[in-house]
Amino acid sequence: MDSDTQTKIRAAGNPLIASDRVQGSTIRRPDGEKIGKIERLMIDKISGKVAYAVMSFGGLLGVGERYYTMPWTKLDYDPNLNAYVLDITKGQLQGAPVLNSEGESGPDRNAERALHEHYDTDPYWRI
């Protein structure tokens, strides 16, 4: 574990968080701008690893919201912002593969590979 990760864990207090506390968490850009929230986590049944966060962006009172699936490894928790930070451009997000209308993945590994390639992350099943 690198020293930056250790510092984040100490600043956050308990390194564990209950899934129901992650749901609804704010997502911000590195500059602090709010860009969305976490709707749900997708967890691999066999390994127990968090694979994806399904996030909502845009809309007003739930109307017009768009859902995006983000590899969990793209999110960093920032205790100073009390939010998850996502360092991607609007274009990267808009050009991302959509797994389905709710942002959930099906059993299609090719779609999941395309998602990981888009965000330049290692697939959760190889980590």
pLDDT digits (tens, 9 = 90+) for 58-110: 766 656 678 888 999 999 999 899 999 999 888 888 788 776 656 565 667 88
Q: Are 54 and 104 in contact (CB under 8 A)?
A: yes
pLDDT at 11 over 60: no
Contact 99, 69 (CB under 8 A): yes
Q: Answer whether 105's CB lies under 8 Å from 111's CB.
A: yes
Asked if 113 contacts 123 with a C-beta cutoff of 8 angstroms, the reply is yes
Nearest to 90 by CA among 33, 51, 41: 33
- Residue 13's pLDDT is 67
pLDDT number for residue 93:
81
**Nearest C-alpha neighbor of 73 from the set 89, 84, 57:** 84
H/E run at residue 56: strand 50-57
In CATH, what number does 3-126 get? 2.30.30.240
Q: Dihedral angle at the C-alpha atoms of 23, 29, 33, 35, nearest 10 degrees? A: -50
* pLDDT number for residue 77: 92
Domains of the chain, residue spans: 3-126
Q: What single string gives the DSSP state of each residue in 87-109?
A: ---HHHHHTSPP-STTS---S-H
Is pTM beyond 0.75 here? yes
Higher model confidence: residue 42 or residue 57? Answer: 42
